[in-house]
Every structure is written in C-alpha cells, then in structure tokens.
Amino acid sequence: MEYNFRNIEKKWQQYWEENKTFRTPDDLTNPNKCYILDMFPYPSGAGLHVGHPEGYTATDIISRYKRMKGFSVLHPMGWDAFGLPAEQYAIQTGTHPSITTKNNCDTFRRQIKELGLSYDWEREINTTDPKYYKWTQWIFIQLFNTWFDEKLRKGRPLSELIIPDSISKAGNKAVRDYVNSHRLAYYDNATVWWCPDCRIVCANEEVLFDGSHEKCGNRVEKRNLKQWMLRIPLYAERLLKGIDDLDWPEGIKEMQRNWIGRSTGAEVDFKLEGTNETLRVFTTRPDTLFGATWMVIAPEHPLTTSLTTEDRKTEVDNYIKAASLKSDLDRTDLAKEKTGVFTGRFAVNPVNLKKIPVWVADYVLMGYGTGAIMAVPAHDTRDFEFALKYDLPVECIMDPEVTDNEQRSRIIKGRECWTEDGRYINSSDTKTGIDINGLNKEAGIAKMTVWLESKNIGKAKVNYKLRDWLFSRQRYWGEPFPVIHWDDGEISVLDEKDLPLELPELEKYLPGESGESPLANAGDWLNVNDKSGRKGRRETNTMPQWAGSCWYYLRFIDPSNDKQIFDPEKEKYWMPVDIYIGGAEHAVLHLLYSRFWHKVLFDLGIVSTDEPYRKLFNQGMILAYAYENETGAKVAADIIEERNGKFYNSETGTEVKQIVAKMSKSLKNVVNPDDVVLKYGADSLRLYEMFLGPLDITKPWDDKGVKGVFNFLGRTFRFFSNGENIVNYDEDPEILKGLHQAIKKVETDIENLRFNTAISAMMIFLNLAIRKGKVTPDTAAIFTKILSPFAPHLAEELWNMLGNTKTIAYEPWPEVNEEFLKEEAFEYPVSFNGKLRFKIELPVSMTKDEIIEHVLTDARAKKWLETGTMTNIIVVPNRIVNVVLKNKCG
RNA sequence: GCCCGGAUGGUGGAAUGGUAGACACGCAGGACUUAAAAUCCUGUGGCCAUUAAGGCUGUGCGGGUUCAAGUCCCGCUCCGGGUACCA
C-alpha cells in the first residue's frame, strides 16, 4: 500500500478537531501537570515561516509525550497581534487593522492546524481582542497603583504608602506629586528616540547600535515628549537574583545579567572651588581617588552651565549645543573619538585636597550614575585616551602585578594604563589621614569606602544599567491606556468596571509629525467630563507591543473568564510554565519585561509564583542556502543551476559560491511550509525540522534533506501496513532488543530535547525490522506509540490499522524492559598503544584476567606484541582493551 | 573592545575521556522497468596497496595532561550571536 499522506493527514486532523482530542483536562487533581508553551507569533501577512514550526513541533512532541506519560498538559496557542505592519497597511489602504489582523490570524491558524499540532484551540487568545486587552489595561492599573517598598523589597498597593508629614503639610499638589513619584507607572517628560519614518518613539532597546530603528532601519533622532514610563529598575535586584535559580540556557541568563548591569562602587562628593556646590560622582574604583587628576561632567548635567566660569562660557555652551546636535545626527561617531572642553572650574580632591580641573565631555552619560565622573587616567582606559588627547596629567597610584619589568616601568611612569590588580603607591596623605599604600585592590576599595563614609564625603553605592522602561507609543494599533488627563493636572485611571477601554474607529491612521498619536483625532472618544463637570482628555498614546506578550501565559490558564483575569485556583495548578520554547531574539526584552510584570503581580498576591518560566529553551535559527559571485554580490536562488555539485548563475553561466544566509525575499531562498506540506506532508515537515540537527543550533534548511525523513515515513507505512509483516509468533530477541533500545533512546532524548537522535533511533529500529521481515503485533503497537509524538498522523493511521478504535494520543507510553537490553557478549576493541588493531568477542561475564589471557593469546596479537615490550595492559570491562608497549628500538 | 556560542566526510549531523563519522542526504554501481519516476540491494573520510590480507593518516591551528583526547588544560585562528564610552 502506498503512503498517501494527504488522505491520512486530513482524516486525522478532522478526527482530532471533531473529538476535541486535545482539549485541556478540566480537573485540577492530577498531581502531574505540564504547562508547555510556545512564544506566540506575531501573525504577519507573509504567513508561517519554516522557523515557526521548529519550536512548535518541539513543544508538540513534548506535549504528546507527556500526555502518554499520564500528565495533564496545557498546550495553547494565540496571537501577539498588535503591531506596526497592520497599521502601516491601514495608512496605505484604509483597511482597518483589525481586518488585516483577522485575515493574518486565519492564515496562521490554518497553517498551524495543517501541521497537526496538538493545541487546545478553545484557549486561543488574541492580544487585540478587547476581551483580552481589558486585562492588559487592568494590569496597567495595578502598576499605576503600586509603589515599591525599598525596605521590604517588594511592590505594595499605594493605599499602603505612608505620606510624610512634611509633604502632607505642603498641600494637595505636593501629596499628588509625592504619590506619583512612587508609582511603578508614571507619566513624565522623557528624551526619547523618535523614528521620523515610522513616526513612532522607540525604546532604547529598539535602537540599533548604529543609531537606526530596528524595525525599519532608518535613522532615529532625539525628542522630548510626554511619555509613560515603568520603574523596572526598582526590581533590578530581584530580577538579577531570580536568574540564578532558573533552568535557562546559561548564555541567556548571562545576557539578562549584563542587561541589568549591576555594578558596585561608591558615590563621592567633590567640593567645587569658589562655589557652595558639590559635584557628586559614581565610581567603581573609589580606591583610585589619589589618581584622579580631573573630573568630567555630562553636557546635560544640571550643574554644567552654572559651574562654568565666565571666560569659558562661550566655549562650553557651544560644546553643549554641539553635543546635543551631534547625538541627533550620529551617535556612533561620538563613540569613536572623545571630545571635551574645560569649564574653567576646579574641584577639590577629598583625599589630598588637590585642585583638579572640571571638564565637560559627552562620553559621560547623564543617564548613568550621577552624570559626572572623576577621571583616573592611569587606571581607566577611557580616561587614559582622554588624557593623551588633551595632554592631561597621568598619575600612577598602583604598582602593577606584571612580570614584564619594562611594562611595569611604563605603567609607573604613567605611559600605560593599568586596570588590573597590584599594590598601591602614592596613596596616602597626612592632612586627610588616609593611607592605603601597599594594599591590593580589594582591600583598598574596602578601606577607602569606610574612610569616605566616616568623613561623610561618600558612601557605598550600587548602580544598574537598567533604565526606566518607556511604555508608550504614538500609534493607533495598540492597547489604549485606561487613563484620563484632567484639566487641573490630575491623572486618573479608569475603574475596573469601565474596562475594556476600546479603540475608537478612525478615518485616518497617520500619526502627527509632532509625535501625536492618531487617537488625538478621535474627538468623541477623546474628550470626557466627570460628574462635577471637570474636563478631561483620554491618553492618546497606546501601549507597546510588549504589553500583550508580557502576561499572555497567564490568560491561557483561563482564557474566557470575564470576571477575573483568571481563576486563582487554576493559576495555582498550572503555574509556573514548565517549558517555554522560542527564539533567542527575545532573550532580553520580552523575558525581562515579562518577569518584571510577573514579580509585581506576585507582590500583589495575584500570581502564586515569583518567576513565570521555569525552563526556557531557545531554538536555533533556520537559515537557507544562498549564492554569491566572486565579488560577494548575492545572486537570487531561483536562477541558480546545480551541475556536478557546483553552482552556476543560469543567466550568465558563471560559477557562484554556495553560502548559508538568513532566508530573505531578496535572496529568493525563503522556504514556505505550505509547499513542503503539499509535497511531503505535515509529518515529514515536522520530522525534518527535528532531524535537521539539535534544536538549539543555527542550521541551514536543505530541501533535499526532507526526502530522508519522507523515505523513513514511507518505509514505516509500507512495512507496518502490510499484514504479512505483522505476525503472531515468539518475538525475535534481536527485534526485542532493538525495540527496547529505541524506546529508551526516544524517551531520554525527548526529556533532553534531543529530537534529532530520537528520530535516528527509530530509523535504526525500522531498518532492523525490515531486515528481519516480520514483527509481532505487540512490537508494531509499541513502535507506533513511540513514533506518535513525532509523526502523529501516520501513527494514528497505523494504530487504527492495528485494530484500535480510539486515538493513540492517550495510550500509555511503553515501558523499557531492561531484560531485553542485556548483552551476553561484548566485542572488545583491542588497541596497542592506543591504536585499534583488532576486535575480539568475549562474554560480558569474563574477568579482567581472563580477558587479558584471551587477548594476549590471540593470534592477531602476536604481530603487535613483537614490536615492543609490554609494560601495561588496560582493561575496561565492556569498553576497551589497551596494551601498552615500550618500543624495542626506543 | 568585552561577554556568550561554534569549527568533525561532498552536505546536515552522531559520539558518559574508551571502536571517530551513528542516522540521513548526496554520489557511484546494481535490480525492477520499453524508459523514467518510485522502490529495493551494495558501496562510500582521505591516501597507499588492491591478488588478498592490510597499512598510514584523519575531528580549525600549535602545545600539554592521560594507558587512551573530537571530548580535559594552556596559547592562537576563523565564523556566528549579543553588547557598546555604564565610570
């Protein structure tokens, strides 16, 4: 019988749908639960990409396997459907983004269903559905009404915030400002990156290092706009600590740590000569204060203008202006060469009371630390560069730990920068009484910090790179903020009963050039009055795409609950997510934001776990072959001809080089899953995606490779569907051994997400079965079961042919019988001096001495024993024999 | 620059420190066929020998540890990802 995958796949997809086979169990009593989650996709107009099914197939295999193992499985799918493309399309064509979105979701759903993925479609969610974003808005309100208690290190309701008397006395506005300054979500002026092309603000994270917008590639610029911000840095410490216990890839954990960027050091106050002001700096190296020979203040620092002396004013003003303009034009040019000007002002170094000049330079950032630094050129490479350029003094205060005497001499003379450890020199002063000479870095930092604190001129301080999260976008197609700005300056959020605040219908979707959202044109929707007649205006910004994806895993637990965000009992049962699979591109932002929201919800008692995702796994990207000519120019894949393993441009006839590159329209190397399904079937696509290589690595798609797994499925079908091959008899011990080896391998490989080798184990068994020519019905049933998570359509069909009437999806996973795996003999590889010379089969029960005797008396050993004198013989039972010889000549 | 990965046949990739190249693709030869496709069988790292048995060599490069290294250690090269004046 031929393997008619089209009929088989259609038949079983229909069966699963009609029988609601993959509906999540309702009862919450099964102690074994498994929440298996994919990163839900943005449904783009281009449809599914072969990258999507990679992760989806992996989670599907785990889900199906866990069901067979008796677990209650939650395995849902949904759409992260807010986003720019649908809105851009609306601007161009006038089509409402909801229509575009719906069409795209329909395409994605159809494509995903055609892959036979076992999602519970009753739990499908869509972030653009008001029934869903009602709760996104609800979470925003929770953030708005929460403050962070530094002592308890947790978020608490604002009702528990104690207002100091001094604030209460100062009146309502002071109280309001005080409260607002504590909210996790706040509204304020922010200097933001603006993309003039997309007419949208971008988070720092969305701006690439070359100053371009990651979405469109155009240059961004700085603007000052009123924005919603979230105080994620308050959770920096918890977010950092939480990473340690997560079962996530080390690389991703490290990226999150780097992003949070914790650094310990001290803040130190420098008196500004001739003023009453002090200039506070943050440094990780308070121990190097004796080497501080000047200071640098950021151009945007509030003191910069006032501390500048009259005679330097013009130059400094020009510099500040140039710096702000320059950053608009090109951030990266700034990074290449440091510039700065002297302010004319001197500061007093607190350790030795020496006067040091204050410079302004844009390599010091206002957004980090205090916006001012002390420069220690001898022990900081950036300061050293600056010293060279402007001929500033370099004073070495540390005898470096180097063996090279010339280098040591250069460092001590201040001609080379040294940032590592050593012993302090020139680091004492009798006037101030501090002395750290002779200490090493660690002791020096400790002693200096204590001294600074005792003199009240500094204190230990921890800083984070993590900044407030810019949480608003000037767009239409996003969640509206449930916020009203009142005439008198009050900002209020809607009552829960008034949610969701739905998006109004608009005629035009184009945002204003000045950074106004299209919602500013929604007159009826926009303006509101309260009971006392006070006028208000709704927030016209919308939330960024991150908002909906920050918490969707929680809604899957109880997706149609319209009374609560979810039933807490269900949340307790299903959380945390047991395994979360998706692309590494979300390593930092989505996962960090999501963890942040989750921790806030945890603090408020809304969720029961501190972390949302227990185990995370990143699938590798799937690339494709592309072609380039000698000059490195790319040649579209559709005009390539292959002859004798070489590739030619069919239009010019010139030879081209095959390379591996990202799939892209311009290279014409995009693989469409629909085409693969049509030609080979969904089971083949699934199997190939898994067989391609380990899940986490980047690997190239090769159409030819699909044939390999297609052949396997075809052979499987032809063998097991042929009644002549399925015979009642005492099963062949070799078959039993092979079968149980396969069960064991497939099981451990699924548990460890090594699907490629699981598939090869099944191939090995099939090859054995075909060679033997027959198996028992039991063997056929077991093999069908272990195949079913991978190729579910084919497995259901074979299961049915074996006389079963119910789905295979909930059949118990076969048990490995170790009895069948026992070996009686082992073929020992015998090496002489590590080189394999021959093999000898010996019983596994044989003792070492017996093994040695058999090996040494073997006729084949003689030849090698003659080449030297035996000095040792290593026998590792059931592994290897190695004879060590000393060469006669040597 | 810094941080994380990675480098194994023509290709994708296997290999608890213990037989390198499992399993596939491709290729070559054969069977079936009027022919092709499909399917089935055999071979397939390189070099030497080929009448056979066999031998040498081989996991990016250079060292080291070990009876034994793709795997562990030290020093490089190249490729991919992240990050970027974070004081």
C-beta separation of A853 from A839 below 8 A? no
Q: Is the per-residue pLDDT at A99 higher than 50?
A: yes
| CA A735 / C1′ B18 distance in Å | 27
Question: How many C-beta neighbours within 10 Å does residue A239 have?
Answer: 23
- Predicted confidence at residue A111, as pLDDT, reads 95
For the residues A44-59, what does the mean pLDDT come to?
92
Residue A833: nearest nucleotide (C-alpha to C1'): B67
| CA A138 / C1′ B72 distance in Å | 54
Give the range among A106-120, A647-661, A794-808, A867-881 with minimum mean pLDDT.
A647-661
- Predicted confidence at residue A331, as pLDDT, reads 43
ipTM over 0.90: yes
| CA A645 / C1′ B27 distance in Å | 10
Is any atom of strand B within 7 angstroms of residue A280's beta carbon? Answer: no
Is any atom of strand B within 7 angstroms of residue A713's beta carbon? Answer: no
Q: Is the per-residue pLDDT at A334 higher than 70?
A: no
| CA A746 / C1′ B13 distance in Å | 17
Radius of gyration of chain A (CA): 34
3-class SS at A39? coil
Pairing of strands A699-701, A622-628: parallel
Q: Is the per-residue pLDDT at A332 higher than 50?
A: no
Is any atom of strand B within 7 angstroms of residue A702's beta carbon? Answer: yes
- pLDDT: which is higher, A58 or A826: A58
Residue with CA nearest C1' of nucleotide B38: A2
Is any atom of strand B within 7 angstroms of residue A692's beta carbon? Answer: yes
| CA A274 / C1′ B51 distance in Å | 104
| CA A250 / C1′ B82 distance in Å | 13
Is any atom of strand B within 7 angstroms of residue A43's beta carbon? Answer: no
Residues 310-349 of A with CB under 7 A from strand B: 334-335, 338
Which fold is adopted by the domain A823-887?
Answer: Ubiquitin-like (UB roll) (3.10.20)
Cis peptide bond upstream of A576, omega within 30: yes
Using alpha carbons only, give the angle A128, A132, A137 rounded to the nearest 5 degrees.
95
- Listed as ranges, the nucleotides of chain B within 7 A of a protein C-beta are 3-5, 10-16, 18-20, 22-26, 38-41, 55-57, 67-69, 80-87
**Domain boundaries along the sequence of chain A:** 33-137+546-618, 154-235+468-538, 263-463, 622-661, 673-820, 823-887
Q: Please give the single-letter amino acid code of residue A517.
A: S
For A835-876, write each residue's pLDDT tens digit.
Answer: 888 888 888 888 888 899 888 888 888 888 887 888 889 999
Q: Is the per-residue pLDDT at A327 higher than 70?
A: no
- Predicted confidence at residue A210, as pLDDT, reads 63
Which fold is adopted by the domain A33-137+546-618?
Answer: Rossmann fold (3.40.50)
List beta partners, residue A26. none
Which fold is adopted by the domain A263-463?
Answer: Isoleucyl-tRNA Synthetase; domain 2 (3.90.740)
- Predicted confidence at residue A329, as pLDDT, reads 47
pLDDT tier at A402 (50, 70, 90 boundaries)?
confident
- pLDDT: which is higher, A166 or A863: A166
For the residues A13-28, what does the mean pLDDT come to?
95
- Predicted confidence at residue A585, as pLDDT, reads 85
- Predicted confidence at residue A2, as pLDDT, reads 84
Is any atom of strand B within 7 angstroms of residue A829's beta carbon? Answer: yes
Q: What percent of chain A has pLDDT over 90?
A: 65
- Predicted confidence at residue A477, as pLDDT, reads 93
Q: Is the per-residue pLDDT at A5 higher than 90?
A: yes
Q: Provide the mean pLDDT of chain A.
A: 90
Residue with CA nearest C1' of nucleotide B79: A660
- Predicted confidence at residue A670, as pLDDT, reads 87
Residue with CA nearest C1' of nucleotide B80: A698
DSSP E strand stretches across A814-879: 825-832, 835-843, 868-876
For the residues A438-467, what does the mean pLDDT come to?
93
C-beta separation of A472 from A194 below 8 A? no
Is any atom of strand B within 7 angstroms of residue A176's beta carbon? Answer: no
- pLDDT: which is higher, A512 or A683: A683
C-beta separation of A191 from A223 below 8 A? yes
For A226-254, write each residue's pLDDT tens digit.
Answer: 889 999 999 999 999 999 989 999 889 98
For the residues A596-620, what does the mean pLDDT come to?
96
Give the range among A161-165, A212-216, A366-370, A515-519 with minimum mean pLDDT.
A212-216
User: To which H or E segment does residue A105 belong?
Assistant: helix A97-113
Is any atom of strand B within 7 angstroms of residue A830's beta carbon? Answer: no
Q: Is the per-residue pLDDT at A354 higher than 50?
A: yes
Is any atom of strand B within 7 angstroms of residue A872's beta carbon? Answer: yes
Residue A766: nearest nucleotide (C-alpha to C1'): B23
Q: Alpha-carbon distance A242 to A257, whole Å? A: 10
pLDDT tier at A431 (50, 70, 90 boundaries)?
very high
Write down the CATH number for the domain with range A673-820: 1.10.730.10
Q: Alpha-carbon distance A455 to A848, whole Å? A: 74
For A204-223, write each residue's pLDDT tens digit.
Answer: 667 766 667 777 777 777 77
Q: How is the beta sheet containing A579-583 ordered, strand by strand? A: A72-74, A33-38, A579-583, A616-619
